[in-house]
Amino acid sequence: MTTDPASDASTAARAPRRIAMLSLHTSPLAPLGGRETGGMNVYVREVAAQLAALGIAVDVFTRRSSTTEDEVRPIAPASGDAAARLVQITAGPKSRIERHEMIPFVAAFADGVEAFRAREGVTYDVIYSHYWLAAEAGALLAQRWDVPHAAMFHTLAEVKLRARASESEPAERIEAERRLLAGPRPIDRVVAATEHERRLLAQIYRVPSERVTVVPLGADLDQFRPRPQAEARAALGIAPEERMVLGIGRIEPLKGFDILIRAMAQLSDRTNVVLSIIGGDERASREVDALRAVAEKVGVADAVRFLGPRPHEDLPAYYNAADVVAVPSFYESFGLVAVEAMASGVPVVASRVGGLASTVADGRTGYLIPWRCPEPFAEKIELLLRNEELRRALGRAATERMQPYSWGEVARGIAAALAALIAEHAALARGDTRGRLPA
């Protein structure tokens, strides 16, 4: 895994002491598989914890959506004086609301973060925002605090619309992302997960490459690693003879689970084949009902299981129990499910979109499908289900390919990128343009 920023001693000396990480619309400690919880939650939690392990204090700010949880909660055990904490900020109702309903509360969220900072008597060296809502709040705070601001958007409205991964996006989001990326006062640095995303930022938003730092996502390689399939199945109560295709993600059209269900109906041999789908909370019930209707229509209702959301720590057993993991998304900025599956030694069949095209090595760790239709998914899934030797070979290659993708490496890349940004900000404040550092 490669990152742009250098990690030499001079950069390390400028490493941030305290980071304000903003995740306005979703908590990194929320159970996975809900309407707003997925790979971004894992990213924020793991990177915050690993930055703390490097000796950097991290406060992760999220909008309070409950009246029962503490305002401040630990994300990971403290490492010396450095800790990763989750801080819940009251902005709007103390209940779960949809993302578009949070738009009016961005300024109130920023005010709440500032009130917490003042009450704690701390200062932050840099802001690292996640998703456009948080980036909006981060822009307000960066101006107020006079600190540099980096953001990772995870998905972008224009990209989703062009990929036909979304029928519509709020006008406020489209305008905000263009202003944040290419307006008169854009954010200082964009963190992208792949070179593909960097190219999209240049093509669609005209973001100069020097303002984009590429740091791939990672996986917990202690948790996501090959284990005996029989043991995983025994622990989960899955029959040894079952041929298991696994899909994981939020239950929404973007994830393409309807394609996967239709692919099941295309298999020439469906004996003991089961599609297990993890994800979806009570707010996804309408979409789950729609997928059940698809399964009924194409005659595979008996072979599709909706397992609901699962804690992230339970996922390794499901990966290890699976024969194939399928990721039929219309768009993925990176594809964390594919990374975790491959780290677990399981071949992946995925759409050739976004970051998946960089993550999955076609023909070596799984297969990339260029057409979002059931037939090619069915062809590759059936090939793997029929050929155990091929599955094992691709699984071994997948595990080897994922070895550099640890969260520790990701955190070191982020720390170096933020250190370079802080140094650049300080140089510009002195009027020393010669001190400007590359992205």
pLDDT at residue 9, as a whole number: 41
User: Which of 374, 338, 381, 370 has its CA nearest to residue 356?
Assistant: 338
- Distance, in Å, from the CA atom of 377 to the CA atom of 199, rounded to the nearest integer, reads 27
Under 8 Å between Cβ of 404 and 175: no
Q: With residue 366 as reference, give the H or E element that holds it.
A: strand 366-369
pLDDT tens for each residue of 118-143: 999 999 999 999 999 999 999 999 99
- Distance, in Å, from the CA atom of 324 to the CA atom of 320, rounded to the nearest integer, reads 10
Q: How confident is the model at residue 435 (pLDDT cuts 50, 70, 90)?
A: very low
Instruction: Tell me the residue length of the chain.
Output: 439
- Distance, in Å, from the CA atom of 353 to the CA atom of 330, rounded to the nearest integer, reads 7
pLDDT at residue 254, as a whole number: 84
Average pLDDT, rounded, for the chain? 90
Domains 9-218+406-435 and 229-401 agree in fold: yes
More confident residue, 282 or 244: 244
Res. 284: pLDDT tops 70: yes
What CATH number does domain 9-218+406-435 carry, 3.40.50.150, 3.40.50.2300, 3.40.50.2000, 2.60.120.380? 3.40.50.2000
10 Å CB burial of residue 428 (0-12, 13-18, 19+) is: middle
What is the mean predicted confidence (pLDDT) over 200-227? 94
Res. 32: pLDDT tops 70: no
pLDDT at residue 348, as a whole number: 98
How do beta strands 212-214 and 324-327 pair?
A: unpaired
What CATH number does domain 229-401 carry, 3.40.50.2000, 2.60.40.10, 3.55.10.10, 3.40.640.10? 3.40.50.2000
pLDDT tens for each residue of 229-262: 999 999 999 999 999 999 999 898 889 999 999 9
pLDDT at residue 245, as a whole number: 98
> How much of the chain, in percent, has pLDDT values that exceed 70?
92
Res. 54: pLDDT tops 70: yes
Res. 380: pLDDT tops 90: yes
pLDDT at residue 331, as a whole number: 84
What is the mean predicted confidence (pLDDT) over 173-181? 97
Res. 56: pLDDT tops 60: yes
pLDDT at residue 68, as a whole number: 84
Q: How confident is the model at residue 285 (pLDDT cuts 50, 70, 90)?
A: confident
Domain boundaries, the chain: 9-218+406-435, 229-401
Res. 390: pLDDT tops 80: yes
More confident residue, 366 or 429: 366
Res. 313: pLDDT tops 60: yes
pTM for the complete prediction?
A: 0.84
pLDDT at residue 215, as a whole number: 94
